[in-house]
Amino acid sequence: MHNSGASVKQIRSAIETAFGPHYATQTPTPLP
């Protein structure tokens, strides 16, 4: 796993799908 950037992008994409794009850009307190 050399590409940590790709992993971050995948995680962020999953966050956008689950919580919405606002959550990915602002990232407030993590939801339980």
Total number of domains constituting the chain: 1
Between 8 and 21, name the one with better pLDDT: 8
pLDDT classification of 28: cutoffs 50, 70, 90? low
Average pLDDT over residues 2-27: 73
The average pLDDT across 15-22 equals: 74
> Range of 6's domain?
1-32
Dihedral angle over CA of 18, 21, 27, 32, nearest 10 = -20
The residue assigned the tokens 């992008």 is: 9
Q: Which of 17 and 25 is assigned the larger pLDDT?
A: 17
Tokens 């962020």 locate to 12
